[in-house]
Amino acid sequence: MDADIVIKNGMVLTMDEGFTLHEKADLAIKGPKIVDISPQTKFKARKTIEAKGRLVMPGLINCHTHAAMVMMRGLADDMPLETWWQKFIFPLEKKLLNPNFIKIGVGLAAVEMIKSGTTAFSDMYFFEDAAAEVCKKISIRAFLGEGILDVPTPDFPDIEKTLSFVEGQHEKWKGDPIIHLTVSPHAPYSCSPETLKRSRQLAEKYDLPLHIHVSETAYEVDEIRQKYGASPVEHLENIGFLNERVIAAHCVHLSEKEKEILVKRQVKVAHCQESNMKLAVGQAPIVELLQKGVAIGLGTDGAASNNNLDMFDEMDSAAKFHKAVRRDPTVMKAQDVLRLATSEAARVMQRPDLGSLAVGKTADIIIVNLDRPHLTPLYNIYSQLVYSAGGGDVDSAIINGKLVMDNREILTVDEAEIIDRANFLAREVSHG
């Protein structure tokens, strides 16, 4: 029996419902799919990866980011979100964003994500067709959503042209194995009820996830209450926006009624712990939402407010923050937090073929080097991954069955060239 890749002698962490862990196993890949996980595979492969002393696990899924904003990393720190957005980020975007900026930024972000164990990410930004081209070249799985706003955006002068572009983008990329689309109205405060309804209709028409910011700040909640006489989640419910397609990023400020609405409508939530902390927007009720059965995945948000895209950092922060603020060390256990970056994140993205390892699943896989001082001794693999490991411990990455990083080397693009181009662009940004 032939396979394309066989990973041999690794510890295989499946992240299936039973948390199956194979202390030593082989994993075979043919095309984009896993075809065998067994103590000694009979599959013969063109490429064999020796994984002794390594952990083989699902690739991490970043459920909410703005990839190209890596080019704004460190430009505006230590200020409230409204100031950060209105006085720094928005003027900079208006002046500098173009397809070249996006290609360079997304290229840099993709390399950073792959090298820190992320094999799939959900993006909401501008010039997303340029982003798609870069992600396709680098071979990272991307869920891309053109930012839909009522005001002119860097790439479109009005909402009609934005919505038309979203439809055209779907026609261009439908069926692609790694480029997936979302419909992404920015937020209730930046989109009219009519725009939100039309966005939902597009998502229904093309069977796509519906990605939106919700209740990130108290200021936003107050603004929506004054404008519509309801909280953001209540407002979205009132206009018929919410359903099982919706991925609501942040959800920091929620009433009990709003939590129940999310449960009722099967809304998914992208939890961005580090960005929430850095911008001091508040404490998202993640523990309560998990207890209610809401699907939650972790996201980094953009690097301009994080300031990196390392999902290992995100897991560590999410686990520790909620323990601290609740004064309860038993919540957000390492094993459960790891699910929020793998199997639960796949549920958020509405892709049951991702997020865990099993025969027939899509081969989005990372290999983690366990032979490191800070990962020794190994008593509990979940604890080690969430509290001790970092993105730099990831040796290799396979995306859709393709080896994209091998022994820390990106195989699809020239990493040094991408960094050089980003540094050259940064000089223009710094003078912007």
Q: What is the pLDDT of residue 71?
A: 97
Same-domain pairing of 152 and 256: yes
Same-domain pairing of 27 and 168: no
Q: What is the pLDDT of residue 79?
A: 86
Q: Which helix (H) or strand (E) holds 411?
A: none
- d(CA 120, CA 124) in angstroms, rounded, equals 14
Same-domain pairing of 285 and 372: no
Please, what is the angle between helix 99-115 and helix 128-138, to 10°?
A: 40
- d(CA 323, CA 328) in angstroms, rounded, equals 5
Looking at the domain assignment, is residue 292 inside a domain?
yes
- d(CA 43, CA 400) in angstroms, rounded, equals 18
Pairing of strands 21-30, 2-13: antiparallel
Same-domain pairing of 292 and 389: no
- d(CA 26, CA 35) in angstroms, rounded, equals 11
Looking at the domain assignment, is residue 425 inside a domain?
no
Looking at the domain assignment, is residue 356 inside a domain?
no
Same-domain pairing of 322 and 385: no
Same-domain pairing of 154 and 33: no
- d(CA 273, CA 63) in angstroms, rounded, equals 12
Is residue 64 annotated as involved in ligand binding?
A: yes
Nearest alpha carbon to residue 102 among 62, 74, 142: 142
Looking at the domain assignment, is residue 423 inside a domain?
no
The Cβ of residue 189 has, within 10 Å, a number of other Cβ atoms equal to 17
Is residue 93 annotated as involved in ligand binding?
A: yes
Same-domain pairing of 390 and 314: no
Is residue 253 annotated as involved in ligand binding?
A: no
- Residues spanned by the domain of 48: 2-58+362-410
Domain count, the chain: 2
Which residues contact residue 370 at a Cβ distance below 8 angstroms, ignoring those fewer than 6 apart? 11, 53, 54, 55, 376, 378, 384, 393
Is residue 66 annotated as involved in ligand binding?
A: yes
Q: What is the pLDDT of residue 432?
A: 59
Is residue 256 annotated as involved in ligand binding?
A: no
Looking at the domain assignment, is residue 354 inside a domain?
no
Same-domain pairing of 295 and 174: yes
Which residues contact residue 180 at a Cβ distance below 8 angstroms, ignoring those fewer than 6 apart? 141, 142, 143, 144, 173
Looking at the domain assignment, is residue 140 inside a domain?
yes
Give the CATH number for residue 231: 3.20.20.140
Same-domain pairing of 325 and 382: no
Q: Return averaged pLDDT per consecutive 10 residues of the chain, 432 residues in all.
A: 97 98 98 98 97 98 98 90 84 92 99 99 98 99 98 94 96 97 98 98 98 96 98 99 99 98 99 97 97 99 96 98 97 98 99 99 99 98 98 99 99 98 92 66
Nearest alpha carbon to residue 40 among 17, 20, 22: 22
- d(CA 140, CA 404) in angstroms, rounded, equals 8
Same-domain pairing of 45 and 108: no
Same-domain pairing of 174 and 277: yes
Which residues contact residue 210 at a Cβ distance below 8 angstroms, ignoring those fewer than 6 apart? 182, 183, 184, 185, 199, 200, 203, 241, 243, 245, 246, 247
Give the CATH number for residue 28: 2.30.40.10
Looking at the domain assignment, is residue 419 inside a domain?
no
Looking at the domain assignment, is residue 420 inside a domain?
no
Same-domain pairing of 81 and 186: yes
Reported pTM: 0.98
Is residue 186 annotated as involved in ligand binding?
A: yes
Burial 376-410, CB ≥16 within 10 A → b, else e = eeeeebbbbbbebbbbebbbbbbbbbbbbbeeeeb
